[in-house]
Amino acid sequence: AKMAGKNCYRFYSRTMDQAIERRVRMEHDLRGAWERGELTLVYQPIYRTRDRVLVGAESLLRWNHPEDGAIAPSVFIDVAEQSGLIEAIGLLALRNACHEAASWPVPAGAGEAPFVSVNVSARQLRSGDLLQQVADALQQSGLPPERLHLELTETAVISDEANAAALLARLRGLGVKVWLDDFGTGYSSLSHLRRVQVDGLKIDRSFITDLLRDPDDLALTSAIVAMAHSMGVTVVAEGVERAGQFELLRERDCDLVQGYWLGHPMGGPEFVAQLG
Ligand code: C2E
Ligand code: CA
Ligand code: CA
Ligand code: CA
């Protein structure tokens, strides 16, 4: 009976051990991944809906693991966030995105060089270092502040609203634009927008996916656009995969669009080639 009990215990603990082991190994591998050149940034183009002129790009991390190959951000950002590694990785992403974007040319028909948007995690937001890091990144790269957009998730901002509101005000004071990411997935989104001043919001992909089929999603998207515009806030729709979605968004006055139908994330040089 003692043996069976022990085996039983080992049986249940093994899968748990494996999951923990995987995380520990990933955390270990993630340390120094940037220095080894395994982490890179790709850029996904963002277009003005009205005339489909390219106006910016979102920078997105990619991890090319020497043994496991390409690992999606949905897997490693979580590990980076929980281990605290995101603070170092996020800073490098910020610096590199600013540095690359500083040399982007003005695309045909645009009048100005594209902005770059950088994702900022909840942990970076709470770290107390963000304002100085952003100021330094701008100064060192020479990127004009208005060409840097910071994407903060709605949940991160709302969970720490008192501090976030003050920090966002200071970031905007530097001249950078602040965007709320994954908008619509958090709780009671609209009321928070009155207290937390932002330049733009990104309607979460989950609303766009069903736009052509689900009248509720279309109604919500239209309402978000109308409400945002009444407060002078710009709206981006992400995850636009079909022409029909794009047409509806144009009809409903959504300012900017991003998605596979318009362009996939791509390496820096490939993005620059698009600007020609
Ligand atoms: P996100 O900020 O919501 O980024 C948009 C994600 O949607 C990206 O996935 C992008 O490739 C994907 N996407 C774009 N257009 C389409 C489309 O038309 N259809 C579909 N199905 N997907 C589309 P990705 O690159 O895998 O990034 C996933 C998440 O990882 C991001 O979600 C963001 O939360 C996080 N992430 C990525 N890079 C960074 C970073 O540098 N810092 C931080 N803190 N988080 C990052
Ligand atoms: Ca984002
Ligand atoms: Ca998003
Ligand atoms: Ca739906």
The string of pLDDT tens digits covering residues 173-209 is 999 999 999 998 876 567 777 778 899 999 999 999 9
Q: Ligand 1 within 6 A of 121 CB?
A: yes
Which atom of ligand 1 lies closest to the CA of 124? 44
Q: Ligand 1 within 6 A of 184 CB?
A: no
- The per-residue pLDDT for 245 is 98
| CA–CA separation, 159 and 196 (whole Å) | 12
- The per-residue pLDDT for 2 is 44
Q: Residue 24 is encoded by which pair of tokens?
A: 């520990």
pLDDT at residue 58 tops 80? yes
Ligand nearest to the CA of 263: 1
DSSP 82: H
- The per-residue pLDDT for 219 is 94
Distances (CA, A) of 179 to 18, 107, 119, 183, 188: 38, 23, 9, 9, 17
- The per-residue pLDDT for 207 is 94
Residue range 28-34: average pLDDT?
93
Is 177 within 8 Å of 199 (Cβ atoms)? yes
Which residue lies with its CA nearest to atom 13 of ligand 1? 239
Q: Residue 14 is encoded by which pair of tokens?
A: 């093994």
- What is the distance in A from the centroid of ligand 3 to the CA of 132? 25
For the chain, percent of residues with pLDDT exceeding 90:
78
pTM over 0.90: yes
At 68, phi and psi to the nearest 5? -90, -5
Q: Ligand 1 within 6 A of 119 CB?
A: yes
- The per-residue pLDDT for 76 is 95
Which residue lies with its CA nearest to atom 15 of ligand 1? 259
Which of 91, 119, 260 gets mutated to test ligand 1 (max ligand atoms within 8 A of its CB)? 119
Angle at alpha carbon of residue 123, lines to 266 and 232, rounded to 5°: 70
Contacts of 237 (CB under 8 A, 6+ apart): 202, 203, 207, 208, 221, 245, 249, 254, 256, 257, 258, 259
Give the helix ranges, DSSP H, for 53-197.
73-83, 86-101, 122-126, 130-141, 154-159, 161-174, 189-195
- The per-residue pLDDT for 188 is 59
- The per-residue pLDDT for 265 is 98
Which residue lies with its CA nearest to atom 25 of ligand 1? 60
Q: What confidence tens digit (pLDDT) does each residue in 118-143 have?
A: 999 999 999 999 999 999 999 999 99
Mean pLDDT of the chain: 91
DSSP 253: T
- The per-residue pLDDT for 266 is 98
